[in-house]
Amino acid sequence: MKALVKRRAEPGLWLENVPEPKVGINDVLIRVHKTGICGTDVHIYKWDSWAAKTIPVPMVIGHEFVGEIVEVGSNVSDFFPGQIVSGEGHVVCAIDKDVAAIFDPFGNAVHTALSFPVLGEDVLVTGAGPIGIMAAAVARHAGARFVVITDVNPFRLELARKMGVTVAVNPQEKSIQEVQKELGMQEGFDVGLEMSGNARAFRDMLANMAHGGKIAMLGIPAEEMAIDWNTVIFSMLTIKGIYGREMYETWYKMTVMLESGLDIKPVITHRLNYAEYERGFEVMMEGQSGRVTLDWETI
């Protein structure tokens, strides 16, 4: 079978023929239809210091996918050949295949966005990457009043606007304080979703929170970052780290929101054939994309 392989400890990925995995008694074999290119995959492609110390080579990469079960092990009684499943290990009947291909980052977005109650609250999202944009859409869907998102990348700000945020702002051009004023906000944001991993973005967030405000942090900073702890203390802020998703609670919420009209499809900006993977990584590295998916059905 064909796969994208990190063959050597250097930048790049290689489309290669690799052996089909053996099906153990507790396994299912999945024929992959579509995959999502994750930020993690971009790190592996670039071979930055994180990838170099974390990823053993050679390795077949990729973890965001939708596909069809083609074989099950002898112990498996609750899954059957022909079922469509996604990278969350979740049976995704009735869910659009493009959306199912990005269930993994969508799970991160839902987990973060619903960490604190947002009904009627004003929400600030820092970082309009695919996960930040999906989290903003989830906060809206869950009844937030204003959802303001920040990024320094015009392509992504525009994408966030298409997804229906209240305001998408570049903090280098206009301060978040100004946005608050324009919206008639007096006290700052009730809930913050940190989705950039960027220290400046996080500091901007801290300076714009209401007293008693709550921050969920998903973005992974590249290094330690200093903040003004006085703000945290005197504004009595709560900061909660978020990792992955909650089994199975996040999945149920994801499915129910999609069924009740949440549309995250616009976040997929490029649908490419697997053979065009180099272009997929390029647009991601240039920041000219939301989520990129690769189609493997035509092999």
- The answer to whether 129 contacts ligand NAD (rule: CB under 6 A) is yes
Q: State yes or no: residue 269 binds ligand NAD (CB under 6 A).
A: no
When asked if residue 44 is in the footprint of Zn ion (CB under 5 A), the reply is: no
Q: Which does 243 bind (CB under 5 to 8 A by kind): ligand NAD, Zn ion, none?
A: ligand NAD
- Whether 33 sits among the annotated catalytic residues: the reply is no
Minimum CB distance to ligand NAD smaller for 26 or for 54: 54
Q: Which among 43, 166, 231, 270 is annotated as catalytic? A: 43
Residues 42 and 278: beta-carbon distance below 8 Å:
no
Of 67, 2, 58, 63, which Cα lies nearest the Cα of 30? 67
Per CB under 6 A, does 156 bind ligand NAD? yes
- Between residues 28 and 250, which has the closer beta carbon with respect to ligand NAD? 250
By CB under 6 A, residue 58 contacts ligand NAD: no
Strand arrangement of the beta sheet that strand 64-72 belongs to: 84-86, 64-72, 28-37, 291-295, 268-273
- Could you tell me which residues come within 8 angstroms of residue 67 by beta carbon, excluding any fewer than 6 positions away? 30, 31, 32, 33, 34, 84, 85, 86
> In 47-145, where do the E strands start and end?
59-60, 64-72, 84-86, 123-126
Return the C-alpha torsion angle 267, 270, 273, 274, nearest 10. Answer: -70
Contact with ligand NAD (CB under 6 A): which of 62, 67, 87, 132? 132
201 binds ligand NAD (CB under 6 A): yes
Nearest to 176 by CA among 126, 243, 113: 126
Of 40, 112, 126, 255, the active-site residue reads 40
- Quick check: bond before 130 cis, omega within 30? no
Minimal CA–CA distance to 296: which of 270, 277, 268, 281?
277
Rounded Cα distance between 125 and 102, Å, is: 20
Task: Reply yes or no on whether 43 is catalytic.
Answer: yes
E strand or H helix at 27: none
Residue 196 contact among Zn ion, ligand NAD, none, beta carbon within 5 to 8 Å by kind: ligand NAD
Residues 87-126 that bind ligand NAD (CB under 6 A): 108, 126
Shortest CB 105 distance to ligand NAD, Å? 6
Residue selected from 7, 23, 29, 39 as contacting ligand NAD according to rule CB under 6 A = 39
Q: Which of 76, 152, 183, 283 binds ligand NAD (CB under 6 A)?
A: 152
For Zn ion, what does the binding mask look like between residues 58 and 97, x meaning CB under 5 A? ------x---------------------------------
Write the DSSP symbol of residue 149.
E
Residues 71 and 28 sit within 8 Å (Cβ to Cβ) = yes
Instruction: Please give the Cα distance from 126 to 144 (Å, whole number).
Output: 16
Look up residue 19 and give its DSSP letter. P
| Residue closer to ligand NAD, measured from CB, 72 or 167 | 167
Considering only residues 224 to 243 of the shown chain, the ones binding ligand NAD according to CB under 6 A are 242-243
Which lies closer to ligand NAD via its Cβ, residue 69 or residue 105? 105
Binding site for ligand NAD (CB under 6 A): 39, 108, 126-132, 150-153, 156, 171, 195-198, 200-201, 218-220, 242-244
Positions marked active-site: 40, 43
Binding site for Zn ion (CB under 5 A): 38, 64, 104
